[in-house]
Structure 1
Amino acid sequence: MLRPAMPGPRRGRPRARHDRALPADAVQPAVAPLLAVHRAAAPGADQRGLLRGYEVAERLHQGQLRKSGAPYITHPLAVTMILAGLGMDTTTLVAALLHDTVEDTPYTLGELRADFGEEVAVLVDGVTKLDGERWGERAEAETFRKIVLAAAADLRVLVIKLADRLHNLRTLGFQPEHKRARYAKASQELLVPFAERLGIHMLKREMDDLAFAARDPAAHLSAAAAVRTALRDAEPAFGPALARLRIALAEQRITGRVSIRPRHLYAVHQEREGDLDGLRPCDAARLLILVDGDERDCYIALGAVHAALHPIPGRVKDFIALPKFNLYQSLHTRVISPDGDLLDVIIRSRAMHPVAEYGIVAHIREAGTAAAGAVAGRRDLVWLSRLLAWQSDAPSAAFLDSLRADLAPGDVAVFTPSGEVVALPGGATALDLAYALGPETGDLCIGALVNGRLAALSTELRSGNVVEILTEPGGGPSEDWLGFAVTAPARVRIRRSLDRCRAEEAAAAGRRELLRALAARRVDLLAAEAHGDSLRIARALGHEEVDGMYAALATGSLALDDLLARFTGA
């Protein structure tokens, strides 16, 4: 636990300034690199707010130290540098400098709002963890739920959280070994998938590799050595293929850049399942073709690639016509090199490249500071809409497990008979699709037609499948559905429906028991319900509705004799 810093007297709010240039003597050496990076990305930005944010953060964190022994201010400064390197707007950078002040110092959210405005306060509040003493075991789950809800209004909350986690992973070596592994595991299960969902692959790759190093240091060292050895021969190994591709592209009058793109260590380790013996350059890198033209030129380039190098049937993935859930667009194909190696080739336009690397950050940068919040709150990210749809129904105990399932890697795009495209995680079944189409459709489904053929609800779906969900009025979920439901929306809704059915059955059983007991004493339960006596007794016992009281009787948490005494006045 950090000990709260005890700042000196609060400074009054500085008066607004209209000049944007900062005199050299006004800039502290520690913050000068941050201002330089931000100035390069946003030459016209007013940096006075950024400097004031640093001064307040440094004052509030004074006396606090990191596990490394470094002053605590080095952490928010490093997080802000990561975001400045991504080209984030000034408001986000100010919020990043202040992101731990409300959590770890006496500075309140109200004070922050008064000093820096509502927009900064919303971002800081979004990334502030809930009090563990107050929330207990629910704190972690409810903190993530809070982040999700804040991100629904402004995705910059998640971007700040990712930069915060990246720097903590960079400095994880100062933590005890048992904490390193646990922290890295949580990062790969929850934060890395969020980076992928936002399309910020620049952060995802580094977070993946740092978490990999913390969870399995030996495997990480082995992968690093194998990849380093393989890439040493990359130029000669890829040379013949590169030469053919450049000639083929030139023949089609397609201009652009063809380059070797190394893969990150964890991706190589995963694909080879840890067996890195004989790792070749084609296993450690892919070819990237950046086309100067538009989408049409990307498809022409794909034809040129297949003309120059023999394609592998069924290995073309078109993420231009059908973008990924994180707005990623590219063409992927696998071909055979002149030397007989399998090569992965990625094709995208230069306009697609920033989104492919930086995801939502590219959209925020493009919109500019004034519109950053609006862009960051965009709802065309299907995964976020899906997450918001089920999160409120998940209790704290199940929320994190459901979130991990919803963020699991892999994506499948299926079509409804009307042509609607529905994105689902890998391994999703027809039942998952039914719930993705709506909770009512899910509850009433009885089967599916997959590509025109009758299929069970447990059928695993593949990209490109055309699926029609069959429903029947009066149907409902069954316990065995939980055995093959993969997505969080489906599992949460099924559990909720089953719990509701059990509660209704318990209430009916309890009411029957009470009805018989009261009839033996010549007391009319129907009359008591009609006059409101049953509801009054239920609320006196702490139940909002009479069904809760009846269910408590059926489950044994309420004694029949006690309840009879209240109804008979005995």
Structure 2
Amino acid sequence: MYRLVGAAGRAADPVPAAVAPLLAAHRAACPQADGAALLRAYAVAERMHRGQLRKSGAPYITHPLAVATILAGLGLDTDTLVAALLHDTVEDTPYTLAEVRAGFGEEIAALVDGLTKLDGDRWRGRAEAETFRKIVLAAAADLRVLVIKLADRLHNLRTLGYQPPHKRARIARASHELFVPFADRLGIHVLKREMDDLAFAASAPEAHAATRDAVDAALREAPAVFAPAVARVRAALAEQGVAAEVTVRVSHLYAVHTSTGGDLAGLRPCQVARLLLVVDGAEQDCYVALGAVHAALHPIAGRLVDHIAMPKHNLYRSLHTRVIAPAGDPMEVIVRSRAMHPVAEHGIVAHIRAAAGDGAAAGAATGRRDLDWLRRLLAWQADAPSEGFLDSLRADLADGGLTVYTPCGSIIPLPPGATALDVAYALGTDTGDHSIGALVNGRPSPLSAEVRDGSLVEVLTDPRAAPSPGWLDFAVTAPARVHLARVLAADGAERAAAAGRDRLARALAGRLDLLGAEARGAALAVARDLGFLEVDELYAALDAGAVGLADLVARLTAR
């Protein structure tokens, strides 16, 4: 142990050696931060987890401490780090949420609550799905819940070697399908890249090793390919009077694996690295720098993507272009300003860091209206049953791949294979329910028509139109499929109830007025006697054969 120096030079209480790296990382990013709250949280977490061990045999406290240290390295605020230290206490120890609230305040208690898994015994097979739904809802209130969860998963991936093979495969798959996409949606690419590669190593160790070796071999040739390109770009920038840092950025292994489809033969340096220009200047200087790049290196037509004018779903802003390097290789170049760079690397974390002091950090992570993906996710998750919720979530988080536009200027990201119907539902459930077709790039198209990247799509509607069961055959996105399933199920229930009621009315003809029995509550009383909350449920059960007609007639006529 060593001592921190307190106010007026007084020696503070001894600091456990285990927590010293966390305090140092936090002080490096937040020099004015008070470490007292961290020390109190560490003391609670260490005491509550005492005697618990990780699969590696290490004391369990090493896990929350590592999670908090990852977040400290990102520059997160004190409250976030305290919540990270306590994030497993309510779930795995006798420590209660009320104790968190009493000891550390409502804000930290809300973060810990959002991270606490639901009781598996109570929720049974629905626990995993409903836990993810809980995290999504908590993240809507404070995105730091999701940031802590990502750091938690990153540390679990770092220590995945201690898990049995079947569990390694499951954790790696879930990481690629759920956690990596969440990191991408929040723009935290420093976490996304490491999680990608760790999950890749766990799920496909041979492919990971082969990719690593191929990338290492390609990078040995990189100076000969990139040095002439960098020299030309720097000279062109100087001619334009633009100051910029020009570096070679190496892609992470999983990105190389997916971009090559695993075909690593003859891998070239430009397939594993690209040029990054960070411009010292305003937004317009990025476009001047882009012009300098195109003057120095021949641009490839149709390969310019402007994410400054049209930011990505995760607030990412940069210019992407492809050029021909002096050696003849296609080369990707990224241009962004110095102000854009922190968000490009750290996403939402950069906004939280930029908040003035810990007290404003929550405001930087809550109530954001510029994250359309979260708004859409919140809209459809409420209607999604536990069964199939994770599949819908995976589909919704899958890489966009496509971007389509509408005449009113809306920009809609979609997964590959998306149709005009998906565009309709992305514009709102009312538009989707009443859609009858679309104009894709000015040409009439059915709702089942697949849309292409960059298409201009105008949805055609009719107020008399309604969803058809056949739409589920070509709806791709989670919002469309979840809404359609709910609407069609409700329609089916209404039809079944109407058919059951009609059958009962015919059986009662001449003996009892069914409408009168409904009006005086006799029908509802019989329904409740049989375990149904509503009369329509009873009628639907009759139509399905779950309730006998003769028995129902006897019960009603006896009242």
Report TM bin, short chain: over 0.9
1:487 CA displacement: 1.1
Asked if the contact 2:342–2:350 (Cα under 8 Å) also holds between the matched residues in 1, the reply is: yes
Q: Distance in 2 between matches of 1:359 and 1:273?
A: 28
1:539 CA displacement: 2.5
Question: What does 1:277-356 align with in structure 2 at a 5 Å threshold?
Answer: 277-356=265-344
Match of 2:3 in 1: none
Asked if the contact 1:405–1:488 (Cα under 8 Å) also holds between the matched residues in 2, the reply is: yes
1:357 aligns with 2:345: yes
Match of 2:165 in 1: 177
Match of 2:143 in 1: 155
- Which structure 2 residue ranges, 5 or more long, are not aligned? 1-5
Secondary structure of 1:449 counterpart: strand
Question: What does 1:106-505 align with in structure 2 at a 5 Å threshold?
Answer: 106-368=94-356, 369-377=358-366, 378-505=368-495
Asked if the contact 1:309–1:335 (Cα under 8 Å) also holds between the matched residues in 2, the reply is: yes
Q: Distance in 2 between matches of 1:60 and 1:160?
A: 20
Match of 1:569 in 2: 558
Secondary structure of 2:245 counterpart: strand
Please list the CA deviations of residues 339-365 of structure 1 after superposition, one character each: whole Å capped at 9, or x if unmatched. 110101111001100000000000000
1:548 aligns with 2:537: yes
Q: Distance in 1 between matches of 2:124 and 2:10?
A: 46
Asked if the contact 2:45–2:85 (Cα under 8 Å) also holds between the matched residues in 1, the reply is: yes
Residue identity in the other structure for 2:118: L
Secondary structure of 1:207 counterpart: helix
1:84 aligns with 2:72: yes
How big is the alpha-carbon RMSD for the aligned residues of Structure 1 and Structure 2?
1.5
Count of paired positions: 552
Residue identity in the other structure for 1:419: G
Secondary structure of 2:444 counterpart: strand
Asked if the contact 1:193–1:409 (Cα under 8 Å) also holds between the matched residues in 2, the reply is: yes
Residue identity in the other structure for 1:545: E
The partner residue of 1:508 within 498, 518, 541 is 498
Match of 1:9 in 2: none
Residue identity in the other structure for 2:467: P
Secondary structure of 2:335 counterpart: strand
Residue identity in the other structure for 2:545: G
1:20 CA displacement: 10
1:425 CA displacement: 3.5
Q: Which moved more, 1:232-241 or 1:390-399?
A: 232-241
Secondary structure of 2:438 counterpart: strand
Q: Distance in 1 between matches of 2:8 and 2:549?
A: 76
The partner residue of 1:68 within 43, 56, 63 is 56
Secondary structure of 1:396 counterpart: coil
Asked if the contact 2:313–2:371 (Cα under 8 Å) also holds between the matched residues in 1, the reply is: yes
Q: Distance in 2 between matches of 1:225 and 1:324?
A: 32
Q: Distance in 2 between matches of 1:20 and 1:547?
A: 75
The partner residue of 2:15 within 19, 27, 37 is 27
1:532 CA displacement: 2.2
Asked if the contact 1:482–1:494 (Cα under 8 Å) also holds between the matched residues in 2, the reply is: yes
Asked if the contact 2:431–2:461 (Cα under 8 Å) also holds between the matched residues in 1, the reply is: yes
Q: Distance in 2 between matches of 1:456 and 1:337?
A: 43
User: How has the CA–CA distance of structure 1 residues 563 and 455 changed in structure 2, closer, same or farther, with 3 Å as cutoff?
Assistant: same
Secondary structure of 2:328 counterpart: coil
Percent identity (aligned): 69
Asked if the contact 1:429–1:458 (Cα under 8 Å) also holds between the matched residues in 2, the reply is: yes
Asked if the contact 1:336–1:342 (Cα under 8 Å) also holds between the matched residues in 2, the reply is: yes
Q: Distance in 1 between matches of 2:95 and 2:328?
A: 63
Secondary structure of 1:374 counterpart: helix
Secondary structure of 2:217 counterpart: helix
Residue identity in the other structure for 1:195: A
Residue identity in the other structure for 2:313: F
Question: What does 1:503-542 align with in structure 2 at a 5 Å threshold?
Answer: 503-519=493-509, 522-542=511-531
Moved over 6 A (4+): none
1:289 CA displacement: 0.6
Residue identity in the other structure for 1:508: A
Q: Distance in 2 between matches of 1:327 and 1:22?
A: 45
